[in-house]
Amino acid sequence: MSGAKVAVRAPERPSIHPTAVVDATAAVHPTALVGPYAVIGPETTIGPETTVGAHAVVEYATLGRGNQIFPGAFVGGAPQDLKYKGEKTRLVMGDGNAVREAATLNRGSHATGETRIGSGCLFMAYSHVAHDCRVGDRVILANGTALAGHVEVGEGAVISGMVGIHQYVRIGSFAMISGGSMIGQDVPPYCICQGDRATLRGINVTGLRRGGFSREETLEIRRAYRTLFLSGLPLKEALADLRRGRPGPRIAALADFIEASKRGVTRPAPRPGSPLLDDEQGEE
């Protein structure tokens, strides 16, 4: 914690437990709830209907409406970056997120000044979001999963338990990362990825269905996957082939994601003699 002035809340605020500590520079909405022994640190805004559980710590952060910070979670902690020298940075979170027990979400570093979390996300127990990450809406991080610094995770992505994601990697929207995977390169939107080091395993059909994709859109994504990764074409030629077909917005977003990659794109594992993608890939 900073050396800023602190004050124990007076009992006239029943929404803040008398044992909680709230920094003088913090703003807690009257409809928010702050539990026993929680700490609301400097320059923090707790939005309406947000709850901060017992022994949780929130500092240098802006939290929107209806977030749930469970006991023992730490939101807005200093970056675990040796280059960080105490610069004033922040974590900004949208609405309706759940941060479970002992999860840690760090604020930004001097590089960007901000870690940004969308809305409707679930960060399960012991998950970690490092400095300068960008996490989209409705993302799930399962238990023990860790995002290194500067990772970007797109809307609707699901990252299973005990996954490690290298710094600067991008996870595309509606991607699914299987448990225990180690991710060193960008994972394209809509795909399933698994392994150490991880490879693509097909299309995330279940995730697309839950995300409201039509059957036609899913079939279009499946065809694009085959063109990109199973046709034998160099990736640059495969992308050009997709572009010539005047793709719809879903495929255009996929092509844009791949073309913007700086770390390289995760590919399917070689499986001589049989195609990687079959019609059941991604079904539950």
What pLDDT digit, counting tens, does each position of 45-84 carry? 999 999 999 999 999 999 999 999 999 999 999 999 999 9
Residue 29 annotated as catalytic: no
CA distance 17 to 38: 8
pLDDT at residue 115 is higher than 60: yes
279 falls in which pLDDT band (50, 70, 90)?
very low
* Residue closest to 266 by CA, chosen among 193, 211, 162, 160: 193
Q: What is the pLDDT of residue 272?
A: 61
CA distance 23 to 44: 8
Q: What is the pLDDT of residue 7?
A: 53
Q: What is the pLDDT of residue 270?
A: 80
Q: Rg of the chain's alpha carbons, rounded to an integer?
A: 21
Residue 150 annotated as catalytic: no
Q: Where are the domains of the chain?
A: 6-150
Owner of token pair 């500590």: 21
pLDDT at residue 271 is higher than 90: no
CA distance 195 to 200: 9
* Residue closest to 144 by CA, chosen among 168, 128, 167: 128
pLDDT at residue 112 is higher than 60: yes
Query: Considering the chain, what percentage of its residues have pLDDT values greater than 90?
Result: 88
Q: What's the angle, vertex CA 188, arms to CA 133 and CA 246, rounded to 5?
A: 125
Q: What is the pLDDT of residue 246?
A: 87
The dihedrals phi and psi of 246, each to the nearest 5 degrees, come to 50, 65
8 Å CB contact between 50 and 66: yes
DSSP code at position 27: E
Q: What is the pLDDT of residue 5?
A: 58
pLDDT digit string (tens) for 142-200?
Answer: 999 999 999 999 999 999 999 999 999 999 999 999 999 999 999 999 999 999 989 99
Of the listed 41, 77, 149, 161, which one is catalytic?
A: 149
pLDDT digit string (tens) for 16-49?
Answer: 999 999 999 999 999 999 999 999 999 999 999 9
Q: What is the pLDDT of residue 283?
A: 37
CATH topology of domain 6-150: UDP N-Acetylglucosamine Acyltransferase; domain 1 (2.160.10)
Of the listed 77, 96, 108, 132, which one is catalytic?
A: 132
CA 140, chain centre distance (Å): 7
Q: How many residues does the chain have?
A: 284
CA distance 19 to 23: 13
8 Å CB contact between 76 and 103: no
Q: DSSP assignment of 212-265, as one string?
A: T--HHHHHHHHHHHIIIIIS---HHHHHHHHHHT---HHHHHHHHHHHT-SS-B
Residue 149 annotated as catalytic: yes
Give the residue-averaged pLDDT of 204-209.
97
For the entire predicted model, the pTM comes to 0.90
pLDDT at residue 127 is higher than 80: yes
Query: Considering the chain, what percentage of its residues have pLDDT values greater than 70?
Result: 90
* Residue closest to 44 by CA, chosen among 96, 110, 88: 88
Q: DSSP assignment of 29-79, as one string?
A: -TT-EE-TT-EE-TT-EE-TT-EE-TT-EE-SEEE-TT-EE-TT-EEEEPP
Of the listed 17, 55, 128, 131, which one is catalytic?
A: 131
Q: What is the pLDDT of residue 269?
A: 86
